[in-house]
Amino acid sequence: MRSKSKELKLKIYNFVNVFRREYGYSPSIGKIADQFGYSRTTIYKYLIEMDKEGMIVYKGDSIETKELNSENTLLSACQIVGSIPCGEAVTEEEYVEDYVNLPASIFGKGTFYILRATGDSMVDAGICEGDMVVIEQQTVAEVGDIVVALINSNENTLKKYSGINEDNKVVLSYMNEDVYPNEEILVDKLIVQGVAKYVIKNLSGIHKPNY
């Protein structure tokens, strides 16, 4: 096949990205042909050559680019379900504030939910008041994990799981040595509702030094 126009290849590539971002799927050969005023046969030949060159992955019914492909456009549905205290455990009634989609290329694959952090007991772990904490839903945790713990009478809290002490008590540690040095919560039984994986922050309120 005779080599095709590099300019048109780039135009097709960019059009595919724009279309997939807007609609969530690949444009058809007909859509591309109409966009640039070429026949479907011509566009098909371009797509085949672009695929052979590694510029795209053309699967007949889909066109993948480096930016938008089956891996990095895979999304996990996620609920924002209110707040989680980073201080004394309190009873919280769970409610869904909103729904979002998390890209698997960043957050991985799993079942997640998001909680708003309240309080200051986890600042040494990078979790501050108002942060959005991405929790992977699971019922087991390893020592050192930051967990959503359901304790006592349906009270929940976000703490570091520090293992079992000599009295066979579950140790949940505060992570703010300036305010709560060596502070712990000891419980007979730990019920894990999830493990914190990521923190989403709003940086607009952070003080910026003057230079």
Q: Just list the catalytic residues.
A: 121, 159
Answer yes or no: are the C-beta atoms of 174 and 121 closer than 8 Å.
yes
Helices 6-23 and 40-52, packing angle to 10 deg: 90
Residue 30, classed as helix, strand or coil, is: helix
Token pair listed for 18: 């724009």
Q: Is 73 exposed, middle or buried (0-12, 13-18, 19+ CB in 10 A)?
A: middle
DSSP labels, 63-114? EE-SSS-TTTT-EEEEEEEEEEESSS-EE------EEEEEEHHHH-SS-EEE
Token pair listed for 51: 């695929």
Strands (E), the chain: 57-58, 63-64, 75-85, 90-91, 98-103, 112-118, 132-136, 146-151, 155-164, 170-173, 184-187, 191-200
Q: Is 45 exposed, middle or buried (0-12, 13-18, 19+ CB in 10 A)?
A: middle
Token pair listed for 2: 């005779």
